[in-house]
Amino acid sequence: MNLNIGIISGVLSTSIALKKQLMEYSETFKDIELYGIEDYFPEDITCDLMIYSSDIVYNEIYEMNRTINAKEDLIASRTINFETVDDLFKIRKGEKVYVVNDAKVTTYQFIAHLKHIGLEDIEMVPYFPGTKIDKRIRYAISPGTIDGMPENIENMINIGPRLFGLETIHQILKAAGLLDSLDRSYSEKYLSKVVDITKRSGRYASEVMLLNERLNLIMSSIDEGVLVVDTKNKISLINKPLLELLNMPYRNFSGEGIDKVIRNQDIVDFCIGIKQSQEDLFTINHVNLLFSRQKLSSGDIIVFVKNIEERILESNRFNQELVKKGHIGKYTFEHILGTSPAIMEAKYIAHKLAKSELTILIEGESGTGKELFASAIHNASNRADKAYLAINFSAFTDELIESELFGYEDGAFTGAKKGGKVGLFELANGGTLLLDEIGDISPKMQTKLLRVLQEGEIIRIGGTIIKSVDVRIIAATNKNLRQMVERGEFREDLYYRLKMGTVNLPPLRERRKDIPLLIEHFLLGEYEITKEAEGILTQKTWQGNIRELKGSIEYMKAISEGNLLSEKTLPKSVEVKSRTVSLITDQEYHILELVYKCNKQGISCGRQNIQTMTYDQLGLTENQIRARIKKLVQKGYLSSSKGRAGSFVTDEGIRVLDNHLLTT
């Protein structure tokens, strides 16, 4: 397992129990790091995924002002350890019993879990630090907190810490990349324990009715529809979530033939194993339900049922939790540094557009902060509490882009994941989707994207069902889409759909007064910089913009021997070799300015183009243009490349343009 995982609980013993539970599913979890707030909580904790045993633990750490350096966080849902509860069902009906935990809120949570498994015929009295002791109470139940047990209790039942619920196990296995290899065996392992303990509880209760009620109570706490059919095709259980999905009244169907309860013969055939496929999609009352089937070693069949539409964002719940805590869509306008007029104008326009539902096009050179602005727009919108997802068109092939955006059905193509895949449009439903590097989109995908923007509907690859989606689109590009439209490389109708709201981000050279502020931010208060080095950094034109500036600062920090960054630590690409600026003529200046504009717009700039575009103003021949380009190259203001790419303005050339150093 490449993922570095940590578990943190109130006490280390709870983390140990949770790790032991995960190792039942895969030995790859043996390297998980374990922490407890009370007994093992180092100053520096770094991991890829930190699992908090409860929201109480997460909030306690937050209130302690402690920072855990984790790329991703997960707040676990937990439930009773089904393997240790036999003694609970031996307690007489109506008996008064202490339920013990370390705090009031956790005690009441523990009581709720006990009721979930059917332990409702005893009187549960909460006991936590500060509670007065009632000497008449003879029983106490604890989830591992032995030290907190009331004194002189005759019967102390310790069922151990609460363990991860099925949903959290699914999220952890997904994060660790183990879902495909385990298929659904992890859920069979989990549910088999549930069924087993319920049957054991029935032995003590000696009542079949109570057994079925307890089994249904437990199964109803699971977050998806569950149906168990025995070898005689009779229903062992059908939980409340499934009855709701099937629009059926809630009652005990145990012992009834499945064909007497479910009237859809196709569903019945699937549930009893006549159909060979392990998964199938059925539409009931215009709702799409995904059925998946497993056969237990006993011969019984367990069927899981999900409402596809309701579960779309749930499949991204891990990301949703991160959204709330700032790890996805984590930037706001307060994170955008700068007081220059250019950046203030961009922030003002973006903030105004954020409150609308307009599609937004963010234009700017590479490294100007387009992703940061997109995140800030999302967090300032009415969709801030919904999903924020992104895709980069330059990072995938056309086929992968389509499957990522639209998803696909089971068996849609060779190599398709079993059960199909939900696309980003569905996952982002109700939220925001960033289409980064939109200038790299293919003509085929342009047509498909336009349909989504016009109709608000998508169809998965290999599917026939039209799904409505409500997604706010933000597109970003460092290319000139207007020029691409004129060259026939980008659909004009799509272009105008995307630029309903436009934000133009200024390059760093147009906001030089912000450079010292950015440098200070990148130093993190841990380093200092000499005035000479800061001056050189401020004068550089930064073709790579903020990203290049940050990279240079990181380089300087890495090679500095102390915490002072000087001109000696500057990267060679930043060093100013000469402060002497060679003067240029009006004609050279106009050529330099024209080349710069062409570079900025992504237009090739060879001498023939320059001669054509400047002839009315300069009247120079192609040979004369060649001579002046040669002089600009010699002075270090232009770089000339072979082929169609033409010339490019250097950093020094841009500095000349900025300072308007001209002669007659």
Tell me whether residue 490 is in a domain: yes
Strand partners for 477: 363
Q: SS3 letters for 117-130? A: CCCCCCEEEEECCC
Judge contact between 518 and 337, C-beta under 8 A.
yes
Max mean pLDDT among 28-37, 418-427, 567-576 falls in 28-37
Instruction: Please write the tens of the pLDDT for every residue from 69-98.
Output: 888 888 887 877 766 766 777 788 888 999
Query: How many Å separate Cα 367 from the centre of its chain?
Result: 22
The predicted pLDDT at position 314 comes to 46
R_g of the chain, CA atoms, integer Å: 32
Residue type, 430: G
- 398 and 525 assigned to the same domain: no
- DSSP notation for 588-640: HHHHHHHHHHHHHHT--B-HHHHHHHHHHHH---HHHHHHHHHHHHHTTSEEE
Residue 260 lies in a domain: no
Residues 153 and 138: beta-carbon distance below 8 Å: yes
pLDDT of residue 129: 80
Same domain membership, residue 134 and residue 45: no
- 2: buried, middle or exposed (CB in 10 Å: 19+, 13-18, 0-12)? exposed
pLDDT in tens, 395-413: 777 778 888 899 887 777 6
Residue 308's pLDDT is what?
Answer: 66
Instruction: Give SS3 for 517.
Output: helix
Q: Which residue has the tokens 């008449």?
A: 136
Residues in Cβ contact with 408 at an 8 Å cutoff, skipping those fewer than 6 apart: 416, 420, 421, 423, 460, 461, 462, 463
DSSP state of 570: S
Task: Give the domain CATH number at 543.
Answer: 1.10.8.60
Give yes or no: residues 433 and 392 share one domain.
yes
Across 349-368, average pLDDT: 93
647 belongs to a structural domain: yes
**So what's the pLDDT on residue 408?**
84
Domain boundary among 164, 184, 199: 164
* Residue 664 pLDDT: 35
Q: Is residue 142 part of a domain?
A: yes
Mean of pLDDT values over 527-555: 90
Domain ranges, residue 641: 586-659
Most confident stretch, 229-233, 302-306, 593-597? 229-233
pLDDT of the residue at 579:
43
| 333 plus 386 within the same structural domain | yes
Residue 212: what pLDDT?
47
Residues 6+ positions from 400 with CB-CB distance below 8 Å? none
In contact, 505 and 360? CB cutoff 8 Å: no
Average pLDDT in the 246-250 region? 81
Q: How confident is the model at residue 197 (pLDDT cuts 50, 70, 90)?
A: low
- Per the listing, tokens 């409500």 go with 470
Concatenated DSSP letters of 106-156: HHHHHHHHHHHTT--SSEEEEE-TTPPP-TT--EEEESS-GGGPPTT-SEE
3-state class (DSSP) for residue 335:
helix
Is beta strand 279-284 parallel, antiparallel or unpaired with respect to 287-295? antiparallel
Report how far residue 505's alpha carbon sits from residue 29's, in angstroms, rounded to the nearest whole number. Answer: 45
Tokens read off for 154: 């005759």
Let me know if residue 269 belongs to a domain.
no
246 vs 664, more confident = 246
Residues 471 and 489 in one domain: yes
Q: Give the residue with greater pLDDT, 103 vs 356.
A: 356
- SS3 assignment, position 99: strand
10 Å CB burial of residue 51 (0-12, 13-18, 19+) is buried
**Helix ranges, 275-397 (H):** 308-311, 317-324, 341-354, 370-379
Strands 501-504 and 360-363: parallel
The tokens for 587 are 């004609």
pLDDT at 428: 84
Averaged pLDDT score across all residues of the chain: 80
Q: What is the pLDDT of residue 247?
A: 82
Residue 609 sits in a domain whose CATH number is 1.10.10.10
Residue 201 contacts residue 211 (beta carbons within 8 Å): yes
pLDDT tens sequence across 287-296: 778 888 877 7
Separation between Cα atoms, residue 608 and residue 70, nearest integer Å = 55
- Mean pLDDT to the nearest integer, 527-543: 89
pLDDT of residue 312: 46
Amino acid identity, position 107: T
Decide if pLDDT at 20 tops 70.
Answer: yes
> How confident is the model over 229-235, as a mean pLDDT?
89
271 part of a folded domain: no
Determine contact, residues 604/642, Cβ cutoff 8 Å. Answer: no
Residue 52: predicted pLDDT: 92
Lowest-pLDDT range, 63-72, 181-190, 253-262? 181-190
Residue among 326, 338, 323, 79 nearest 223 (CA) = 79
In a domain, 278, yes or no: no
Rounded CA-CA distance 89/294 in Å is 29
The DSSP secondary-structure symbol of 662 reads: B
Domain co-membership, 354 together with 468: yes
Going across the sheet that includes 46-52, the strands are 33-36, 5-9, 46-52, 69-75
Average pLDDT, stretch 20-33? Answer: 88
Residue 640 tokens, joined: 């000339």
Asked whether residue 560 falls in the same domain as residue 597, the answer is no
Strand partners, 7: 34, 51
Euclidean distance between CA atoms 434 and 139, whole angstroms: 57
DSSP H or E stretch at residue 250? none
DSSP string, 152-217: T-SEEEE----EE-HHHHHHHHHHTT-HHHHTTHHHHHHHHHHHHHHHHHHHHHT-HHHHHHHHHH
Task: Tell me which long-range contacts 608-617 makes (C-beta under 8 A, separation of at least 24).
Answer: 609/646, 610/646, 610/647, 614/590, 617/590
pLDDT of the residue at 82 = 67
Query: What pLDDT shows up at residue 310?
Result: 57
* Strand pairing category for 123-127 and 96-100: parallel
Domain count, the chain: 5
| CATH code for position 364 | 3.40.50.300
pLDDT at 660: 52
pLDDT band at 577 (very low <50, low <70, confident <90, very high): very low
Query: What does each C-alpha distance from 44 to 47, 69, 74, 170, 322 come to in angstroms?
Result: 10, 8, 19, 28, 21
Is residue 604 over pLDDT 60?
Answer: yes
**Confidence (pLDDT) at 77:** 78
- The verdict on 496 and 412 lying in the same domain is yes
pLDDT of residue 360: 96
Decide which of 454, 474, 504 is a domain's last residue: 504
Q: What is the mean pLDDT of residues 355-361?
A: 94
Question: Does residue 477 register a pLDDT over 90?
Answer: yes
* Residue 237 forms part of a structural domain: no
Locate all alpha helices (DSSP H) within 460-566, ordered by sequence: 481-486, 492-498, 515-523, 531-539, 545-559
Higher pLDDT, 20 or 224: 20
Flag whether pLDDT at 338 surpasses 70: yes
473 and 361 housed in the same domain: yes
- Mark which of 478, 504, 530 sits at the end of a domain: 504
The answer on 512 and 498 residing in a single domain is: no
Same domain membership, residue 387 and residue 349: yes
The reply to whether 68 and 139 lie within a common domain is no
pLDDT category of residue 179 using cuts at 50, 70 and 90: low
Q: Which long-range contacts (CB under 8 A, 24 or more apart) does 229-234 make?
A: 229/258, 229/271, 229/272, 229/300, 229/301, 229/303, 230/299, 230/300, 231/299, 231/300, 233/257, 233/258, 233/259, 233/272, 234/258
Residue 327, CA distances (Å) to 49, 69, 377, 411, 655 in order: 12, 12, 15, 34, 38
Distance CA 427, CA 315 (A): 8
Alpha-carbon distance of 611 to 3, in angstroms, equals 58
